[in-house]
């Protein structure tokens, strides 16, 4: 409660600037990466279209078209053709390996050749950056002429992973800065400025606001931060009606939530901690609020 005046005194405006600049930096970096990611994706689609063209040529077809490459999921693309074709598995493996070597982010990928009608997998293989992890089989068997689609799924690497990691990694930092700001710097209302270090005599008890204690001849009774702020309002206006709405606003508004039952609960707790002195009582003024009554 009191660290805001000991930690970063008078620096709240600088923390506003720090949080704002940090947020803008993260957003700009993310959009910069997104732009780079779009460029890589566009270049990748050209390479995939080139693969389709090579497959047609190897099939003996030099006139029909490769249809537009479709992105069917994140890091997954589909190559389709205007006409039926045949393919040699070993030629397809070599073609994709040679062309996708030009994609710096295509270190690991899986290729599945599907039949158009039922999407059955006719042939498939996996290529890895570490060749010992490659999965390639049945390369010597030429496939019959049919309608085929080639699905290529890439392992998420490079810019996409870096972008996500950067954004996720930035969240704890921004959360920490926000926490420091809200916990230690956000100013309380004028009521608490300069009064939190005061002491008040309430009947036979001494209220130490800074120490969060009620000091009596027999013992010291500890108060929570919320109980201290509540009692501080009452102690500043003894024997006067304090409106319920004012208490709710000044105690909980800075937290972003105002809950009526919370006020009743803390009032009840304060009463119990003050009940040893019959001259002090927090009474309800129906329809208006509360009053801290202190008898002479």
Tell me the CATH number at 218. Answer: 1.10.10.10
**What span, in angstroms and rounded, lies between the C-alpha atoms of 108 and 153?**
9
How big is the chain, counted in residues? 296
**DSSP classification of residue 62:** S
| Cα distances (Å, whole numbers) of residue 143 to 57, 85, 91, 159, 251 | 15, 9, 12, 36, 76
124, 224: one domain: no
Q: Is the per-residue pLDDT at 108 higher than 80?
A: yes
Instruction: Check residue 287 and give its pLDDT.
Output: 87
- pLDDT of res. 37: 64
Same domain for 52 and 106? yes
Which residues are CB-neighbours of 93 under 8 A, at least 6 positions away?
111, 125, 127, 136, 139
Range from 45-54, 118-127, 160-169 that averages highest in pLDDT: 45-54
Residues 146 and 64 in one domain: yes
Residue-wise pLDDT for 119-132, tens only, equals 788 898 898 888 88
Single pTM value for the model: 0.45
Tell me: do 147 and 205 sit in the same domain: no
CB atoms closer than 10 angstroms to residue 1:
17
Q: How confident is the model at residue 275 (pLDDT cuts 50, 70, 90)?
A: confident
Considering its fold, how many domains does the chain have in total? 2
- pLDDT of 164 above 60: no
pLDDT (0 to 100) of residue 48: 92
Q: How far is CA 210 from CA 164, 197, 281, in A?
A: 45, 5, 22
Lowest mean pLDDT among 237-246, 258-267, 280-289: 258-267
Examine the pLDDT at 249 and tell me if it is beyond 70.
yes
Which H/E stretch holds residue 19? helix 12-58
Q: Would the pLDDT of 183 be above 80?
A: no
Asked if residue 165 belongs to a domain, the reply is no
The answer to the question of residue 84 being in a domain is yes
Say if 56 falls within a structural domain.
yes
pLDDT at 73 over 60: yes
Structural domain for 83, as ranges: 30-160
Is residue 81 very low, low, confident or very high in pLDDT (cuts 50, 70, 90)?
very high
1 domain residue, yes or no: no
Alpha-carbon span 38 to 283, nearest angstrom: 66
Give the 3-state secondary structure of 83-100.
CCECCCHHHHHHHHHHHH
Query: What pLDDT sits at residue 77?
Result: 93
Residue 8 — very low, low, confident or very high, per pLDDT cuts 50/70/90?
very low
Listed residues 130, 160, 190: the one ending a domain: 160
Categorize the per-residue pLDDT at 68 as very low, low, confident or very high, splitting at 50, 70 and 90: very high
Look at the alpha carbons of 250, 252, 258, 261 in this order and tell me if their dihedral is positive or negative: negative
155 and 35 within one domain? yes
Does one domain contain both 144 and 228? no
CA atoms lying within 13 Å on the CB side of residue 229: 21
User: Do 258 and 136 have their domain in common?
Assistant: no
For the chain, the C-alpha Rg in angstroms (whole number) is: 36
């Amino acid at each position: 409660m009191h660290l805001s005046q000991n930690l970063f005194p008078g620096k709240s405006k600088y923390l506003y600037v720090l949080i704002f600049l940090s947020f803008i930096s993260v957003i700009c970096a993310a959009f910069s990466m997104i732009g780079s990611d779009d460029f890589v994706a566009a270049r990748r689609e050209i390479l995939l279209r080139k693969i389709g063209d090579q497959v047609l040529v190897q099939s003996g077809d030099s006139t029909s078209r490769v249809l537009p490459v479709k992105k069917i999921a994140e890091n997954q693309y589909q190559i389709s053709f205007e006409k039926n074709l045949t393919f040699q598995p070993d030629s397809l493996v070599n073609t994709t390996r040679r062309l996708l070597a030009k994609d710096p982010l295509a270190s690991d990928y899986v290729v599945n050749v599907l039949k158009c009608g039922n999407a059955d997998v006719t042939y498939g293989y996996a290529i890895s950056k570490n060749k010992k992890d490659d999965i390639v089989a049945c390369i010597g068997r030429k496939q019959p002429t049919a309608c085929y689609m080639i699905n290529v799924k890439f392992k998420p690497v490079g810019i996409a992973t870096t972008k996500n990691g950067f954004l996720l990694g930035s969240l704890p930092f921004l959360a920490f800065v926000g926490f420091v700001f809200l916990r230690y710097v956000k100013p309380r209302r004028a009521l608490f400025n300069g009064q939190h270090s005061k002491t008040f005599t309430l009947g036979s008890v001494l209220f130490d606001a800074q120490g969060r204690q009620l000091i009596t001849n027999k013992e010291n009774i500890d108060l929570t931060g919320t109980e201290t702020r509540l009692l501080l309002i009452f102690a500043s206006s003894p024997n006067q009606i304090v409106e319920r709405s004012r208490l709710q606003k000044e105690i909980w508004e800075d937290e972003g939530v105002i809950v009526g039952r919370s006020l009743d609960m803390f009032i009840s707790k304060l009463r119990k901690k003050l009940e040893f002195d019959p001259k002090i009582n927090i009474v309800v003024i129906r329809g208006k609020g509360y009053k801290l009554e202190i008898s002479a």
